[in-house]
Amino acid sequence: MHVFRPSARPRTCKAGSSASSIPETNSYSEQERLIDISSILKQCRERSEDFIFADDDDAAPVWEHEGRFKGRPMTLEELQEPPPQLFQPDPAAAVEAVVTAYDAAQGFREMPVQELDVALTAGGLIDLLLDVRSAAEFEAGPRIPGAVNIPLDGLSESVRAGQLDQFIDGHVAVVCASGQRSAQATVRLSKVFNFQHVSNVAGGMAAWQALKAGSSSSSSSGGGCGCGGGGCH
């Protein structure tokens, strides 16, 4: 950073003296000389990228803000302006989507509860219906008939113990309360333990209960003829 400090205070004329009394250039002493102000200003402009003035008394910067010197102090509004953004993102540029283990592109499968209901009714399409809720949740119900309870926190230990070896090539449907823990179990079984056909029951027991509640409501509203259950006349 370049700091300009005047080497001496400006000379002043004594009271009553005239311009003609100012000594000529050749009458100045060796310590004194005339300077070309325009040349100094030109140098200041050339160095203005990092140029600040300093007080001659204590060498403290007069302009505290070390911004670009434009020939005048920066205003408060200029100081508060945010810095220019160096990187301008292209809004038209395509953003590559982040692919996770829970994407279909990675082999993650989800099964709607309607599909599960059809498969269970038909029989033989689901080799294992695995409920990964806690033991307390499973006992408290509701439960899907035929479901086997292995809590998520004990699933890896059970697999390593060989308890599910017979289902490694079979069709496994995994369910929990809302579909989140079962999604983790689905990824763990398929990606870590190489189970071949694992599906997460979307929506979990909440979706299953809603499906069954809707089915019960439809059944109690009447027969297929639309007579409202009162019989045909």
Residue 92 inside a domain? The answer is: no
What's the order of all strands across the beta sheet hosting 128-131?
110-111, 197-201, 171-175, 128-131, 148-149
User: What's the predicted TM-score (pTM) here?
Assistant: 0.54
CA distance 65 to 67: 6
CATH number at residue 196: 3.40.250.10
pLDDT given for residue 91 in this prediction: 64
Point out which residues pair with 197 in neighbouring strands: 171
Let me know whether 173 and 110 are in one domain. yes
Residue 87 inside a domain? The answer is: no
Let me know whether 109 and 175 are in one domain. yes
pLDDT given for residue 215 in this prediction: 74
pLDDT given for residue 199 in this prediction: 96
Residue 112 inside a domain? The answer is: yes
pLDDT given for residue 206 in this prediction: 94
Let me know whether 75 and 115 are in one domain. no
pLDDT given for residue 99 in this prediction: 78
Residue 157 inside a domain? The answer is: yes
Final residue in a domain of this structure, among 80, 115, 137: 80
Let me know whether 127 and 206 are in one domain. yes
pLDDT given for residue 84 in this prediction: 66
Nearest C-alpha neighbor of 5 from the set 74, 66, 56, 70: 56
Residue 230 inside a domain? The answer is: no
Let me know whether 34 and 118 are in one domain. no
Let me know whether 123 and 212 are in one domain. yes
Residue 36 inside a domain? The answer is: yes
pLDDT given for residue 42 in this prediction: 77
Let me know whether 118 and 209 are in one domain. yes
Residue 168 inside a domain? The answer is: yes
The CB density around residue 132, as the number of other CB atoms within 10 Å, is 28
Let me know whether 62 and 149 are in one domain. no
Domain total in the chain: 2
Let me know whether 114 and 193 are in one domain. yes
Let me know whether 208 and 110 are in one domain. yes
pLDDT given for residue 27 in this prediction: 56
pLDDT given for residue 36 in this prediction: 78
Residue 68 inside a domain? The answer is: yes
pLDDT given for residue 20 in this prediction: 46
pLDDT given for residue 8 in this prediction: 46
pLDDT given for residue 125 in this prediction: 92
Dump pLDDT digits (tens) for 46-58. Answer: 665 554 544 454 5
Residue numbers in the chain where pLDDT is lower than 50: 1-23, 25, 51, 53-55, 57, 59-60, 62-70, 224-233
Three-class SS of 16-34: CCCHHHCCCHHHCCCCCCC
The DSSP element (H or E) to which 212 belongs, if any, is: helix 204-220
- In this structure, what DSSP letter does residue 113 have? H
Let me know whether 117 and 39 are in one domain. no
Contacts of 50 (CB under 8 A, 6+ apart): 1, 2, 66
Give me the domain span that covers residue 208: 105-216
Q: Measured between alpha carbons, how far is residue 186 from residues 50, 64, 138, 161, 162 in Å?
A: 61, 62, 18, 18, 17
Which residue pairs, CB below 8 angstroms and at least 24 apart, start in 147-151?
147/175
Asked if residue 21 lies in contact with residue 13, where contact means CB atoms within 8 angstroms, the answer is yes
Let me know whether 74 and 121 are in one domain. no
Nearest C-alpha neighbor of 190 from the set 103, 84, 82, 98: 103
